[in-house]
Chain A
Amino acid sequence: MDEDVLTTLKILIIGESGVGKSSLLLRFTDDTFDPELAATIGVDFKVKTISVDGNKAKLAIWDTAGQERFRTLTPSYYRGAQGVILVYDVTRRDTFVKLDNWLNELETYCTRNDIVNMLVGNKIDKENREVDRNEGLKFARKHSMLFIEASAKTCDGVQCAFEELVEKIIQTPGLWESENQNKGMKLTHREEGQGGGACGGYCSVL
C-alpha cells in the first residue's frame, strides 16, 4: 500500500483551546464525534491515507493541544509541516481575534514559506454564531489562506477541508517534492556525522 502512496504530508492543526481541533480530526479519521472529548495533552497524532485526484497521499496529522500550558510544546511540531489547519470557533469571537497570534507563531516557527494554510471556522451547527462567514473569508483572503466553514458534529465540510488542503499542497510541487529531498539530505547528514565522529576519535590518536 505504501508503494502507490505519492507522498507523505505533514499536516498541523492549531488554534485556541476548545475550538474543536481534535473533534475535526476525529471526524476526519474515525468518522465519529464525541461531545465530551477531553482536552488534548501535548499533541495527538494520526495517520490517514486519502486519495485526491487519483493521487494517494498519506497524511500525518498532528493535532496540537490548544491549552496554554502546552503552548511551549507547539513550536516543535511546525518543522517540516506542509499544511496547517488553523481552527476557530464561530460561536466565540475571542478565538477568531486570536488568530493573529497563531499566524505570528506560524511565521516564526515554520521552516518554509510556501506552506499551505487553511482557515476553518468550526461549530457552524451551533446557533449562537458570533463570527460571520464573510469575516472569516475576508481574514483568509487577507492572509492568502484557504477557507471553509465546518462542523465536526454534523460532519459538514470536514472531509472537504482536508481534501482541499491536500489538493493545494499537491498542486504546489516544490512543497512535497522537497520533502523527499529533505529526507535524502538528512540521511547523508547523519552519515557525515558518524564519519566525523569516528574521524575525531581517530585523529586524536595520531
Chain B
Amino acid sequence: MATQDRSSQKLPQAAKPAAEGEPHLPMGRELTEAHRFAYAALCGVSLAQLFPEPEQRPFCTEFVAGLVKWLDLSEAVLPTMTAFASGLGGEGADMFAQILLKDPILKDDPLMITQDLLSFSLKDGRYDARARVLVCHVTSLLRVPLEELDLLEETFLESLKESKEEESETAEASRKKKENRRKWKRYLLIGLATVGGGTVIGVTGGLAAPLVAAGAATIIGSAGAAALGSVAGIAVMTSLFGAAGAGLTGYKMKKRVGAIEEFTFLPLSEGRQLHITIAITGWLASGKYRTFSAPWAALARSREQYCLAWEAKYLMELGNALETILSGLANMVAQEALKYTVLSGIVAALTWPASLLSVANVIDNPWGVCLHRSAEVGKHLAHILLSRQQGRRPVTLIGFSLGARVIYFCLQEMEQEKDCQGIIEDVVLLGAPVEGEAKHWEPFRKVVSGRIINGYCRGDWLLSFVYRTSSVQLRVAGLQPVLLQDRRVENVDLTSVVSGHLDYAKQMDIILKAVGIRTKPSWDGKGLSLAPGSLPHEEPHQAAATSSDKTTNQDGQTQGPASRDTPKAAASPDPSQDQVPTGLDQSEGASLPAAASPAKSSHICSHGVGPNPLGCPNCTSETQEPCPGLD
C-alpha cells in the first residue's frame, strides 16, 4: 500500500537537491590520485568483463577515455585504461573495488563512487543502457544496495532536464528519417492488406518522452507524415523499394498480414525515472485479466513503467480460446498430455489425444493470427525504441507468452539496425512462443546490455500443443532453456510455479520474484485468486488451486492440472459474491493497481469463507506468503 504513495511523493523531493547538480559533480576528483586510478581501472576492467564483444569495444574505450578525463587523471594512464577496457586487465575488478573500499573517504560512503559514475554517465544528457549496467555492476562490487542507485538516479533526473531537451532536437533529423521509412513501410502494408483482407489501419503509438513535459506524448504518425513530401522522404522511399523488397514479398505471402491496429503505451506507474520498463501482455482473458495492465500489478522494476496495449481485439479472442480449451473436456485430456510433457521434457514423440485435436481449431486460428501480429508489433516497437521515443535512457522489456514474442521480434528487428546498442537494458521473456535455439538468440547480445532472462515451463502443454505441427516444436524457448553461453542469458525454470500457460498472467508476481525482478513489497499475493467476471466458475478455482498447489506440490509438476480440477467442487460457493465490483475496479485502476488492490483484498478476505478447505481464494494467496520460508 505504501509503495505507491512513496513512489509518487519521492519525485518532488528528489527534484530539489538536483536542481543545481553541477557543483558537487566533480567529486571523483577529490580522491587521491591512486584511488582515482583504481576507480577508473575498476570501470575499465568491469566494462571488459561485461562487454567482451568486439562490437562493444568502441563504447568501452570511449567510456574509459572519457572517465580518465573526467577524473583529471594524466593522459599517461590512457593506454593502460584502454588495455583494461579491452579485456587485458584480467581479474582485477574486485581487487580495485577492495582498494577503493579502503579509502578513508569512501569507507563511510562508497555510494560516492556510484554517484560520481552516474554523473559521468549522464553528462552528455543521455543514459546508455550499457553505462547503467556498468553502474549497477560497480555499485554491487562496492557493496552498495541497488536501491541507493535508484534514489540517486531520481536525484539526477531534474538536473538533466535541459540537456535532454536539446538532445532530442539534434536527434530529430535522424528520427524523422526512420519515421519516414516506417511510415512508408506501413503504407505499403496497407496496400497489401487491402488487397488481401481489407484490414483498416490506424496506428497511434508512441511513448511520452517523459523528460520534455509530462503528458506531452509524441504521436509517431504526425512527425512522419509532415516529412513525407520532403527530399529525405523520397530518398528513403527509393531505398526502401530497393532494399526491402524481399521483406515485402514475405509479407504478401501471409494472408493474415495487416499492419497494426492498436499500439499504445499505457502508464503503469506515476513516477518518472532514468530508466523505464515496458511490460507486454500475452493475451487478454475475461474478468480480472481483461486489461493489459492487470497481470503487471505487482511489477515494480522502475518507477516509470508502461504497458503496451496492442491488438486487444485479437488478444481477447485468443484469451477466450485459451480459456475454452483449458476448461471442460480438453483439460481432462491435457492431464494425460502433461504427464508426457513433464516426463519427457518436451513433447517430441507425443501423440495428442484425439479429443484435444478436435477442439484444436478453437485455438489454432486466434493463435496464428496473434502469432503474426505479435511479430509485427515487435518490429514496430523496435523502431519506436530505436527512434528514442522513450528518450535516451535504458529500457527494460518484460513480456509473457505472445508478449514475449513481441520482445523477441523487437530484438530481432533492432539487431539489424546500426545504432541498436545501449538502448535495451534487460529483457525478460516468459513462456515465449519463439525459437529457442541459441543461434537465434545470439544476435541479441548486441542489443541487450544487461540480462536476457528466459523463463520457461517444461510442462506447458498448451505451448507444445499449439506448436504440435510446427517444426520448431522441439526447441520452443518457453518450454526449455536457451543454451547460449553468455553472461547475459539466464534461464529460469518456472515449472513448479507455472502449471499451465494461463498461469503466466495469474502468477505474474511470483514469476517476477522467481526471475529476480523487483515486485511491490506490500504486494502479498496480489489476490491472484480474485478472478471475477464472465467465467466465475473457472478462473478463481484455477488460481486458488494453483496457489495452494505451490505450497504442497514440490515433487511433481504433474499435479498441476489435476489439483486444478479437484478444488472446483470444493470452492464453488464463495467466489461469485464480490467479484464483479473487483473486476471493474481492476480495469479502471490500471495505473494504480497497487494502491487499489491490497485494500480490496482485505475487504474480500473479511468475508470469511471459513468452511472451505482451501479457504477463500484470496486468503489462500495470503497464507502463501509464509510459504517462501518453508522452502
A interface with B by C-beta (< 8 Å): 10, 38, 40-47, 60, 69-73, 75-77, 79-80, 186, 190, 194, 197-198, 201-206
Residues of B within 8 A of A40 (CB): 76
* Chain A residues near B492 (CB-CB < 8 A): 198, 201-202
Docked complex Cα distance between A60 and B490 (Å):
33
Shortest Cβ distance from residue B37 to the other chain A in the assembled complex, whole angstroms: 3
- With A60-B88, A206-B554 as known contacts, state yes or no: A201 contacts B513, CB within 8 Å: yes
B91 touches A45 (CB 8 A): no
B99 contacts A by Cβ under 8 Å? yes
For residues 327 through 368 of chain B, which have their beta carbon under 8 Å from a beta carbon of chain A?
A: none
Closest CB pairs A-B (n = 6)? A42-B37, A76-B95, A201-B516, A206-B631, A45-B80, A45-B83
Q: Are B91 and A76 in contact (CB under 8 A)?
A: no
User: Quick check: A202 and B514 within 8 Å, CB to CB?
Assistant: yes
B78-111 CB contact bits vs A (8 Å, 1 = yes)? 0110011000111110011011001000000000
Contacts A73-B37, A73-B38 known; A41 to B32 CB distance under 8 Å?
Answer: no
> With an 8 A cutoff between CB atoms, is B228 at the interface?
no
List residues of chain B with CB within 8 A of the CB of A190: 487
On chain B, the number of residues with a Cβ less than 8 Å from chain A's Cβ atoms is: 43
A interface footprint on B548-577 (CB within 8 Å = 1, 0 otherwise): 001000100000000000000000000000
A residues less than 8 Å from B216 (CB atoms): none
Q: Contact at A42–B490, with CB atoms within 8 Å?
A: no
CA distance A43 to B99 in the complex (A): 14
Q: From known contacts A201-B513, A204-B513, infer whether A44 and B79 are also in contact, taking CB-CB under 8 Å.
A: yes
Q: List the A side residues contacting B479 at CB < 8 Å.
A: none
The answer to whether A41 touches B38 (Cβ under 8 A) is no
- The one of A43, A202, A203 in contact with B80, judged by C-beta atoms closer than 8 angstroms, is A43
Asked if B33 and A206 make an inter-chain contact with CB atoms under 8 angstroms apart, the answer reads no
B34 close to chain A: CB less than 8 A:
yes
Contacts of A186 in B (CB 8 A): 91
Alpha-carbon separation in the docked complex, A46 to B83 (Å): 8
A-B contact pairs, 26 of them (CB 8 A): A40-B76, A41-B76, A42-B77, A43-B80, A44-B76, A45-B79, A45-B80, A45-B83, A45-B89, A47-B83, A60-B90, A70-B34, A71-B34, A72-B99, A79-B95, A190-B487, A194-B490, A198-B490, A198-B491, A198-B492, A201-B513, A202-B514, A204-B631, A205-B497, A205-B513, A206-B630
The listed residue (B33, B490, B513, B628) touching A41 by CB distance below 8 A is B33
Asked if B96 contacts A10 (CB within 8 A), the reply is no
Contact B37 A41 (CB under 8 A): yes
Q: Is the CB of B628 within 8 A of A206?
A: yes
Residues on the B chain within 8 Å of A194, using CB: 487, 490
Q: Within 8 Å of chain A (Cβ to Cβ): is B606?
A: no
Query: Considering the chains assembled together, what is the distance between the CA atoms of A180 and B41 in angstroms?
Result: 24
**How distant is the Cα of A38 from the Cα of B96 in the complex, in angstroms?**
23
A69 touches B34 (CB 8 A): yes
- Say whether A206 contacts B41, CB under 8 Å: no
Of A60, A69, A75, A201, the most chain B CB neighbours within 10 A belong to A201
Known: A198-B516, A205-B514, A206-B554. A45 touches B99 (CB 8 A): no
* B200 CB-CB contact with A under 8 Å: no
Q: A42-B80, A69-B33, A70-B34 are in contact. Are A206 and B490 (CB under 8 A)?
A: no
Q: Give the A-binding residues of B (Cβ under 8 A).
A: 32-35, 37-38, 41, 73-74, 76-77, 79-80, 83-84, 88-92, 95-96, 98-99, 102, 487, 490-493, 496-497, 510, 513-516, 550, 554, 627-628, 630-631
- When the two chains form their complex, are residues A72 and B79 in contact, meaning their CB atoms are under 8 A apart? no
**Which A residue's beta carbon lies closest to that of B496?**
A206
Q: What's the nearest-Cβ distance from chain B to residue A41, in Å?
A: 5
Q: Knowing A72-B99, A201-B514, A204-B628 are in contact, say whether A10-B33 is a contact too (CB < 8 A).
A: no
Residues of A within 8 A of B631 (CB): 203-204, 206
A75 contacts which chain B residues (CB < 8 A)? 95
Is the beta-carbon distance between A205 and B628 smaller than 8 angstroms? yes
> With A203-B631, A206-B627 in contact, do A70 and B516 touch (Cβ < 8 Å)?
no
Is A76 within 8 A of B37, CB to CB? no
**Cβ contact within 8 Å between A41 and B83:** no
Q: Roughly how many angstroms separate A201 CA and B630 CA in the complex, as a whole number?
A: 14
Given contacts A70-B37, A76-B96, whether A206 and B79 have CB atoms under 8 Å apart is no
Partner of A42 from B34, B83, B491, B550 at Cβ < 8 Å: B34
Q: How far is the CB of A152 from chain B (nearest CB, A)?
A: 18
Are A45 and B34 CB-contacts (below 8 A) given A76-B95, A206-B496?
Answer: no
Q: Contacts of A77 on B, CB cut-off 8 Å? A: 92
Chain A residues contacting B98 (CB-CB under 8 Å) are 76
| A-side contacts of B74, CB under 8 Å | 38, 41
Q: Which residues from B are CB-within-8-Å of A201?
A: 492, 513-516
Measured CA separation A173–B167 after assembly (Å) = 57
**Alpha-carbon gap, A124 to B34, bound state (A):** 31
Contacts A41-B33, A206-B554 hold; do A79 and B91 have CB atoms under 8 A apart? yes
Add 17 more A-B contacts to A42-B41, A42-B77, A42-B80 (CB < 8 A). A38-B76, A40-B76, A42-B38, A43-B37, A44-B76, A45-B83, A69-B32, A76-B96, A76-B99, A79-B92, A80-B91, A194-B487, A194-B490, A198-B516, A201-B516, A205-B628, A206-B497
